[in-house]
Amino acid sequence: MDMFCYQCQEAARNEGCTVRGVCGKSPRVAALQDLLIWTLKGISFWAANGRQNLDVGHPETDLFVAEALFATITNANFDEERFVALIREGISRRDALKAEAQAACQAKHGAPCFHALPEAATWEPESFEAADLLLKGGTVGVMSDAGLDADVRSLRELIVYGLKGLAAYADHAYVLDHHNGDLLAFIEKALLATLDPKLAADELVELVLETGRMGLEAMRLLDEANTSAYGHPEPTQVNLGVRPGPAILVSGHDLRDLDELLQQTAGAGVNVYTHGEMLPANAYPLLKKHAHLVGNYGGSWWHQRKEFESFGGPILMTTNCIVPPAGSYQERLFTTGLAGWPGCPHIPEREPGQQKDYSAVIAAAQQLPGPQGLESGSIPIGFARNTLMAAAEQVIAAIQSGAITRLVVMGGCDGRQPARSYFTDVARALPQEHVILTAGCAKYRYNKLDLGDIGGIPRVLDAGQCNDSYSLIYVAQQLAQVLGVKDVNDLPISYDIAWYEQKAVIVLLALLAVGVKHIRLGPTLPAFLSPNVVNVLVERFDIKPISTVEADVAAIAAGA
């Protein structure tokens, strides 16, 4: 095999990408990502042990671990040079922690504390040339230990992929100066656990659920960060058409990047459009106050080659999800943060107390034609937890009267596979008394359908990005309290979830951690789940694969 990766839903043959990633990831980048994750496990050894026993801690290194994990999620960063730099920085940070922990141990106990160290905690490369790093990366990937128990490997990878999603949400919160050191410490604790040969499957299952609980806290922290900075999303009709004039298209998930760009384009004669997962930004009061934030352009991430071509102006990709760009627009595709594609211009990180400098993006917009129209009309967004709870009495009255018989959570991710038309067909086929709750780019499968409303309540309630999935869990928990239901599974709520990448994994684990059962998951079950691990999830939580539209809609209507 040239590589092995099965972290996303599009893993080849639903087994794993072995020649090149379906996402576009090269074997070289795959090996460097494997080495980076292994290096982060080495950092975690010194961080976790230093924190627990020696009062040694480097908060900036804890954040680096989260940021580096975020860089490895699907469709985020494909730039080999950036991963070489991250590995170099990781080993430097690891060795600084190592030296301080060893010195603290000697001072406290008069003798060394650390014995039988894992190789990840000590390995030093011959050089930081890509060739040397690639050789090592080829020995530390998912399948490097051929004799490892399949269920242990499956659970370890499930934990790592959940941690990637957790790290993404935590990093977004930290960007907005909302911090929780316990989240970063847990990431390191759990990474270290994946190196422990003594942890059996049962113990790893419990760590999976703990990952879900910490993921929920990360989502809560991010919700607090976003709403503190920009206000609570409010119901908003978002324009889908275009206006004359130069423009910038912003994709990804980072609201602060959009905010700073909006400030820097004020009065510059440049319109700003959102794309993909940035659509929900149009509902935040302190973002939509900018008159030159004029609407949303296009659909979900996998359409971007066509849509970015048609846009005609510069595109700012703030996070995942990048599709390998066409040469015709690559020079006007700017990345920032942890996103990257080789050859695309990259906007550096902000200096302390300053904004990022988007002057190059603005200058490009002023020299390029405006966007070609793709569609017209508008769509409603802004139904996050604050809006939904403000309407709770109306929703509860509709439930009690039978006007609404079921809430169907259809959150998660979109993707390229034709089988995902299932979610469009389910949305169309659901009884008129059912309301869809959604968050994430999965909504692009049905958010432009005319599904009507129930007594003024839209039948598609869009809570926002995948980053905003906390709203859906929060609303379920609050409804349970108001309705006097002790078990969230007794609520008239069904879950029909689409997944693609690792932020969807942590949302799934968070749902399991709060006890949600009977989740339908598609379009396929994750390739990284071994048959025995699938059986555990079925037995404990009744997770099930999607089936046919007719069968699933009938089961949802029956509450099964």
**Token digits of residue 331:** 């020079």
Whether 17 shows a pLDDT value over 90: the answer reads yes
Mean pLDDT of the chain: 96
pTM of the model: 0.97
Q: What integer is the mean pLDDT of 227-251?
A: 97
Report whether CATH 3.40.50.1000 matches the domain 12-228.
no
* Torsion, Cα of 307, 311, 312, 317 (10° steps): -80
What tens digit of pLDDT does each residue of 384-437 get? 999 999 998 899 999 999 999 999 999 999 999 999 999 999 999 999 999 999
Which pLDDT score is estimated for 151?
A: 98
Specify the fold of 236-367.
Rossmann fold (3.40.50)
What tens digit of pLDDT does each residue of 449-468 get? 999 999 999 999 999 999 89
Q: Which pLDDT band, with edges at 50, 70 and 90, does 474 fall under? A: very high
Whether 143 shows a pLDDT value over 90: the answer reads yes
What are the residue ranges of CATH 3.40.50.2030 in the chain?
236-367, 396-557
Q: What integer is the mean pLDDT of 464-486?
A: 91
Residue 457: name the closest of 366, 401, 383 by CA: 383
Q: Which pLDDT band, with edges at 50, 70 and 90, does 306 fall under? A: very high
User: At which residue do the structure tokens 């930290």 appear?
Assistant: 174
Whether 559 shows a pLDDT value over 90: the answer reads no
Q: What integer is the mean pLDDT of 305-332?
A: 96
Q: What integer is the mean pLDDT of 503-515?
A: 96
Rounded Cα–Cα distance for residues 226 and 221 (Å): 9
Specify the fold of 396-557.
Rossmann fold (3.40.50)
What are the residue ranges of CATH 1.20.1270.20 in the chain?
12-228
Q: What integer is the mean pLDDT of 172-199?
A: 97
Q: What integer is the mean pLDDT of 222-243?
A: 97
Q: What integer is the mean pLDDT of 39-59?
A: 94
Rounded Cα–Cα distance for residues 164 and 94 (Å): 19
Indicate if the alpha-carbon torsion angle 232, 392, 518, 423 is positive or negative. Answer: negative
HEC string of 418-479 equals HHHHHHHHHHHHCCCCEEEEECCHHHHHCCCCCCCEECCEECEEECCCHHHCHHHHHHHHHH
Which pLDDT score is estimated for 137?
A: 97
Q: Which one is predicted more confidently, 112 or 280?
A: 280
Q: Which pLDDT band, with edges at 50, 70 and 90, does 111 fall under? A: confident
